[in-house]
């Protein structure tokens, strides 16, 4: 949720702030081009001051030419009336717009100066009680804006009247205060970075305690606005992170996966909208970005060569708008949406109304998804906008391979998920409760169902019984429907077989008699002629049924080629030519993974007959 924030630069001034970062350049599409803002001076500090109408004023201090003010970020006027010359400005901070005065404070080498954003460029010394000593850092209480804190070589000070008067609040006695930060959710909690480490006060500076295990100069300090127990600090040599209000610290910039710059860290900024997004500016090394709170960093090679970045600041109302003050001037950039990932992965089968989802992309205003059937990593249909990170699709065709992508969009452009690599959906419906959509035989069974060749073996729920053995009578039904179509019904029975009809299963006889007329089967015995309708169909018999249903009653297979180790079967040598032809036509291959075996006398399953019919009658491609 957007909220109005105080925005100020963090300019880390001092020698010896050397970071051991490892420079990692990636394909991260972080920013668009950097745009000059009309100031080409050497920038030392930067602030944005916004009023209630979200009209913002830009203030930048320079090394040598004082302070400049702009109502639009492009046209600038000198803003120096009342400031001594020469003057070094270390920090600029704006009050929130809840007070009519709406002061802007400058921490300088000659004390604190203040001005109004509407004053036309007049500054007044705010030194009563603090004197004209150097002040390195200023922090404004967001809940009581007239309360201001300052820190410098003579300790910490507090003002409750917008800087008109100051009182010392401790950390004196040579404990140089270089940085200040306030817990935005509990403003009585104040942090001070000093030459002797980090101190905290839980009562607005009334008392201080040393925290953490570090005892070095703390030149930069930030509080995560969404999780105030998370702190970021720049110590003598590196940047650190604490997730428990400073009690323990982890180095987030040292090591092979971090930044390797070997230069001073001079600026640090946290995005007020996405607190895991931080920027580090380092002299001579441009900038570095983390989008995971410091776990990993990306080196940003900018287009204009911002070698010496001394001030960084985010816009308080425009997510993804960053400002950088450097030796070459003041620049702005607006971020493309940052890279993100889809949650769905290629190869996951979906029902006909799958839900597609993806991670949130930082800086995305909205998302657009595309789904089509062309595998070319391009949208061949239409990008469809939506504001959420998921969408449930409807109307997809069963047994259709779709390709899809989602992209994050803002005013600067768009970024596709997974670095532009598209995903696919192999859309499948689940008809039978016992045949899941990722079953290796799903294609065969779904096809013979949709073709009307089978209606399953049970209802409530509808089931297929894939591992059940197929009877000879059921095989007659399967193959006649495969040959003539799912709507086929045979003519009345002619009573060819002595063991038909079977009481209670009179339906069998008409199918069996038609299979006999077409030469698909000759029965299972003679004198009298028998069919054995309740016997299971062996794998060898299924080979005969399949080939005769496909080619007709006059079909005879070529001689055996002796493909299988378990054939011929003594006394049943007739089987081998039929089985070998099934192998040649790639209708079946083997029954064991331990060698080329056919298992000719084992029962045929409903799984197997679905595959035979699918392949023999060219019903599709799995």
Cα–Cα distance, 190 to 228 (Å, whole number): 11
pLDDT tens digits, one per residue of 305-359: 666 788 888 888 888 888 988 888 899 888 889 889 999 777 878 888 889 999 9
pLDDT attached to residue 10 = 38
Residue 396: CB atoms within 10 A of its CB come to: 17
Residue 1: CB atoms within 10 A of its CB come to: 4
SS3 content of the chain, % helix, strand, coil (to 5): 10, 30, 60
- Nearest residue to 340 via CA among 282, 419, 286: 419
User: Quick check: 226 and 241 in contact, CB under 8 A?
Assistant: no
Indicate the fold that domain 7-334 takes in CATH: Methylamine Dehydrogenase; Chain H (2.130.10)
Length of the chain, please?
A: 622
**Is the model's pLDDT at 150 over the cut of 80?**
yes
pLDDT tens digits, one per residue of 472-495: 999 999 999 999 999 999 999 999
pLDDT attached to residue 284 = 65
Average pLDDT over residues 282-291: 76
pLDDT attached to residue 590 = 86
Cα–Cα distance, 85 to 67 (Å, whole number): 11
* The pair of three-digit structure tokens given for residue 260, joined into one six-digit string: 């390797």
pLDDT attached to residue 197 = 84
35-36 and 43-50: which strand pairing? Answer: unpaired
Cα–Cα distance, 148 to 159 (Å, whole number): 5
Average pLDDT over the chain, rounded to whole? 86
CATH annotation of 349-427 = 2.60.40.10
User: Which residue ranges make up each domain of the chain?
Assistant: 7-334, 349-427, 442-616
pLDDT attached to residue 236 = 58
DSSP annotation of 417: G
Whether omega before 501 lies within 30 degrees of 0, making that bond cis, reads: yes
**Is the model's pLDDT at 6 over the cut of 50?**
no
pLDDT tens digits, one per residue of 207-232: 999 886 665 678 888 999 999 999 99
């Amino acid at each position: 949720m957007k909220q109005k924030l105080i925005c100020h630069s963090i300019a880390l001034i001092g020698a010896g702030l050397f970071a051991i970062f490892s420079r990692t350049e990636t394909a991260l599409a972080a920013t668009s081009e950097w745009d000059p803002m009309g100031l080409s001076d050497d920038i030392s500090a930067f602030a944005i001051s916004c009023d209630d109408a979200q009209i913002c004023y830009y203030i930048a201090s320079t090394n040598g030419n004082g302070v400049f003010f702009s109502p639009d970020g492009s046209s600038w006027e000198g803003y120096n009336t009342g400031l001594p010359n020469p003057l070094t400005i270390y920090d600029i901070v704006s009050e929130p717009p809840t007070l009519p005065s709406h002061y802007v404070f400058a921490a300088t080498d000659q004390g604190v100066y203040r001005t109004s954003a509407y004053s036309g460029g007049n500054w007044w010394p705010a030194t009563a009680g603090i004197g004209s000593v150097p002040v390195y850092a200023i922090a404004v209480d967001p809940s009581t804006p007239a309360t201001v804190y300052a820190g410098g070589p003579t300790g910490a000070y507090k003002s409750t009247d917008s800087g008109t008067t100051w009182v010392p609040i401790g950390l004196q006695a040579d404990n140089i205060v270089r940085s200040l930060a306030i817990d935005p959710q509990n403003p009585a909690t104040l942090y001070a970075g000093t030459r002797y480490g980090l101190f905290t006060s839980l009562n607005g500076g009334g008392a201080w305690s040393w925290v953490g295990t570090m005892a070095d100069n703390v030149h930069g300090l930030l509080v995560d606005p969404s999780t105030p127990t998370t702190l970021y600090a720049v110590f003598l040599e590196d940047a650190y992170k604490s997730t428990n209000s400073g009690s323990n610290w982890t180095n987030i910039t040292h090591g092979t996966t971090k930044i390797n710059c070997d230069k001073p860290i001079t600026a640090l900024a946290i995005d007020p909208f996405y607190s895991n997004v931080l920027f580090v500016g380092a002299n001579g090394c441009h900038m570095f970005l983390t989008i995971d709170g410091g776990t990993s960093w990306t080196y940003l090679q900018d287009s204009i060569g911002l070698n010496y970045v001394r001030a960084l600041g985010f816009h308080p109302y425009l997510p993804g708008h960053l400002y950088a003050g450097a030796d070459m001037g003041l620049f702005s950039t607006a971020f493309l949406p940052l890279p993100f990932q889809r949650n769905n992965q290629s190869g996951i089968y979906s029902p006909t109304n799958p839900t597609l989802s993806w991670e949130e992309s930082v800086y995305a205003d909205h998302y657009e998804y595309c789904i089509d059937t062309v595998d070319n990593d391009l949208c061949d249909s239409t990008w469809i906008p939506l504001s959420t990170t998921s969408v449930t699709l409807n109307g997809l065709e069963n047994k259709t391979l779709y390709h899809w992508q989602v992209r994050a969009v803002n005013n600067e452009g768009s970024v596709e998920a997974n670095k532009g690599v598209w995903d696919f959906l192999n859309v499948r419906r689940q008809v039978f409760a016992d045949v899941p959509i990722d079953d290796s035989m799903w294609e065969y069974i779904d096809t013979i169902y949709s073709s009307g060749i089978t209606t399953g073996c049970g209802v409530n729920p509808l089931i297929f019984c894939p591992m059940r053995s197929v009877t000879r009578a059921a095989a007659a039904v399967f193959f006649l429907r495969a040959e003539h179509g799912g709507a086929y019904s045979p003519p009345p029975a002619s009573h060819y077989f002595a063991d038909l009809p079977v009481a209670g299963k009179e339906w069998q006889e008409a199918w069996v008699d038609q299979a006999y007329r077409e030469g698909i089967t000759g029965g299972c015995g003679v004198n009298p002629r028998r069919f054995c309708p309740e016997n299971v169909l062996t794998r060898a018999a299924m080979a005969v049924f399949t080939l005769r249903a496909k080619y007709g009653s006059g079909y005879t297979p070529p001689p055996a080629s002796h493909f299988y180790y378990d054939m011929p079967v003594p006394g049943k040598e007739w089987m081998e030519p039929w089985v070998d032809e099934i192998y040649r036509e790639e209708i079946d291959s083997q029954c064991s993974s331990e060698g080329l075996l056919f298992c000719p006398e084992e029962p045929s399953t409903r799984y197997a007959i679905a595959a035979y019919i699918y392949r023999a009658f060219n019903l599709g491609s799995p």
